[in-house]
């Protein structure tokens, strides 16, 4: 299949489905599900075609010879893993949104999101990468601003402004690269001589630090998570945050290794601050979804610490943690949103005794929560353990402090269990009906199976992940 279909096909399809009218909402939902399933199979096909190391060239399109600018599409293990993760999450988000109101407009925007996000992971041209990235913000803005809670407009505008300002820094860095090398091709920039590498590194680092986000650029995320509908929170945490981490690895660490080594201590310090600051904020929270949001930021701090090792093992651990975090945080957001929909409250103090009223839902929440705090047998344990080992190997035994974050995580997760799942049943829970649509419940079960499956057999994932950084293995670092 021509890879352009994967990028521009959904954009055209989105416009067509948006014209189908609200009465065809079920049809648009089915089209979205089929499209995302097709994306998943195409991504798996790409995985089977990849060389052991390096890129698989998918061709160059839309050339502008005068400016040495074209849509160059290449994928390697890192980008294909992100394509698979995105496709899988879009399928599960569709299932989780099965009863969403204004279905035609909602699923048309999800379809629109699928096109540029594929371009982000497939393009090796910096300018096209930027264009696709900005296009992903448009459907996300409307999904938060239209289907969100009471403060949705404020959250959507704040999300857009923060990420757009960060994008301007990134765009400035890209044009500096073009000015100094004469190319936007990411595969050529690493080998080119840059006249102002330090300035470019800082522009890229700050820009992508906002996108991840890491302290002190994180303040847009809790508002966006709290106001967004639960399935869109899954996309925010599982895809948009991972785009930031993907770009941090691809364009900061791998494209500019020398500057990254010089400023590795900056990445490490900000990662540690994010890890502990967000962990303590989660411990303090009584708002269920905001607690999950700060937990998500804390885990991105852990990913940042792994990136700061600049090593083969550290980057592999970071990628495993990114995938694990996406699969673990998603059911937590979905269940938090479901509980708010049923009880009308976000306060954990209003939800005691849920296990007695909704045991299966509570069991899934407990499983995801235990995975988030790093229970052995789940993906959370493997991700945190491998990051801890890689960090100590690079920076010494003092980085055992990373393990303390798990203790903070255990604090806010177990405290949440005590207030929401166990204890005496609250009046709010007694009066609420927790019946869930079977399709939406099936999505939660799939998340649970993946969390346990990759937790028990991490090698199935690591075999692919390690190939993403195989070229770094002989040196053990950059």
131-170 pLDDT, tens digit each:
999 999 999 989 988 888 888 888 888 888 888 889 999 9
Above 80 in pLDDT, residue 445?
A: yes
Q: Is the pLDDT of residue 446 over 60?
A: yes
| DSSP tag of 457 | -
**pLDDT confidence band for 188 (50 / 70 / 90):** confident
Question: What integer is the mean pLDDT of 298-325?
Answer: 93
Percent of the chain with pLDDT over 90: 54
Give the pLDDT score at 450: 94
Per-residue pLDDT averaged across 428-451, rounded?
89
- Decide if 212 contacts 278 (C-beta within 8 A): no
- Burial (CB < 10 A; 0-12, 13-18, 19+), residue 65, is exposed
Q: What is the pLDDT of residues 83-116, one digit of tens each?
A: 999 999 999 999 999 888 899 999 999 999 999 9
Residue 247's H or E segment, with its range, is helix 241-247
Q: How far apart are CA 53 and CA 468, in angstroms?
A: 7
288, 338 contact by CB (below 8 A) = no
Q: How far apart are the first and last CA of the chain?
A: 35
Whether residue 213 is preceded by a cis peptide bond, meaning omega within 30 degrees of 0, is yes
Q: Using the predicted structure, report yes or no on whether residue 182 has a pLDDT greater than 80.
A: yes
Q: Averaged over 469-476, what is the pLDDT?
A: 59
Mean pLDDT of 384-388: 93
**CA atoms of 435 and 446, how far apart (whole Å):** 18
Reported as type and span, the H/E element at residue 16 is helix 3-18
Q: Average pLDDT for residues 296-310, to the nearest whole number? A: 93
| Arithmetic mean of pLDDT over the chain | 89
Q: In this predicted structure, what is the pLDDT of residue 202?
A: 95
Q: Which residue has the higher pLDDT, 415 or 66?
A: 415
Q: What is the Cβ-side half-sphere exposure of residue 468, based on CA atoms within 13 angstroms?
A: 26
The pLDDT of residue 477 is above 60: no
> CA distances (Å), 147 to each of 197, 302, 361, in order?
42, 31, 24
The pLDDT of residue 473: 53
Task: Look at residues 410, 398, 341, 425 and name the one whose alpha carbon lies nearest to residue 374.
Answer: 410
Q: In which element (H, E) is residue 352 found? A: none
Residue ranges of domains in the chain: 257-477
Q: What is the pTM of this model?
A: 0.93
Distance (Å, whole) CA 466 – CA 215:
28
Q: What is the pLDDT of residue 471?
A: 63
pLDDT digit string (tens) for 333-354?
Answer: 999 989 988 888 889 888 888 8
């Amino acid at each position: 299949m021509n890879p352009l279909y994967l990028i521009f096909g959904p954009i055209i399809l989105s416009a067509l489905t948006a014209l189908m009218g609200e009465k065809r909402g079920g049809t648009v939902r089915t089209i979205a599900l089929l499209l995302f399933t097709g994306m998943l199979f195409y991504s798996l096909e790409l995985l089977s075609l990849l060389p052991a190391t390096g890129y698989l060239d998918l061709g160059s399109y839309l050339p502008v010879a005068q400016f040495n600018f074209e849509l160059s599409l290449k994928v390697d293990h890192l980008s294909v893993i992100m394509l698979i993760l995105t496709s899988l999450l879009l399928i599960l988000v569709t299932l989780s949104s099965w009863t969403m109101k204004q279905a035609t407009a909602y699923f048309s925007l999800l379809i629109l999101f699928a096109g540029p996000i594929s371009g982000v992971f497939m393009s090796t041209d910096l300018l096209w990468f930027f264009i696709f990235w900005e296009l992903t913000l448009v459907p996300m803005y409307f999904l938060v601003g239209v289907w969100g809670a009471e403060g949705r407009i404020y959250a959507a505008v704040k999300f857009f402004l923060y990420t757009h300002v960060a994008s301007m820094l990134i765009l400035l860095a890209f044009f500096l690269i073009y000015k100094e090398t004469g190319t936007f091709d990411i595969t050529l920039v690493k080998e080119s001589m840059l006249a102002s590498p330090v300035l470019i590194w800082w522009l890229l680092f700050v820009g992508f630090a906002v996108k991840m986000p890491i302290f002190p650029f994180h303040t847009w995320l809790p508002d966006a998570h709290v106001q967004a509908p639960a399935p869109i929170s899954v996309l925010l945490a599982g895809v948009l945050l991972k785009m930031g981490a993907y770009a941090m690895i691809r364009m900061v660490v791998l494209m500019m290794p020398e500057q990254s080594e010089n400023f590795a201590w900056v990445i490490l310090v900000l990662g540690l601050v994010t890890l502990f600051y967000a962990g303590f904020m989660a411990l303090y929270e009584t708002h269920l979804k905001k607690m999950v949001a700060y937990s998500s930021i804390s885990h991105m701090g852990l990913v940042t610490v792994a990136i700061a090792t600049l090593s083969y093992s550290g980057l592999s651990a970071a990628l495993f943690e990114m995938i694990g975090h996406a699969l673990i945080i998603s059911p937590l957001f979905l269940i938090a949103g479901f509980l708010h929909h049923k009880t009308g409250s976000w306060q954990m103090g209003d939800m005691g005794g849920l296990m007695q009223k909704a045991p299966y839902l509570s069991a899934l929440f407990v499983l995801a929560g235990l995975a988030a705090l790093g229970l052995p047998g789940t993906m959370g344990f493997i991700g945190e353990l491998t990051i801890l080992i890689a960090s100590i190997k690079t920076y010494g035994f003092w980085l055992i402090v990373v393990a303390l974050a798990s203790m903070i995580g255990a604090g806010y997760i177990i405290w949440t269990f005590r207030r929401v799942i166990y204890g005496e049943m609250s009046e709010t829970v007694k009066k609420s009906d927790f019946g869930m649509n079977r399709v939406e419940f099936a999505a939660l079960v799939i998340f649970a199976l993946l969390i346990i499956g990759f937790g028990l057999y991490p090698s199935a994932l690591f075999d692919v992940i390690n190939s993403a950084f195989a070229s770094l293995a002989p040196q053990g670092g950059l």
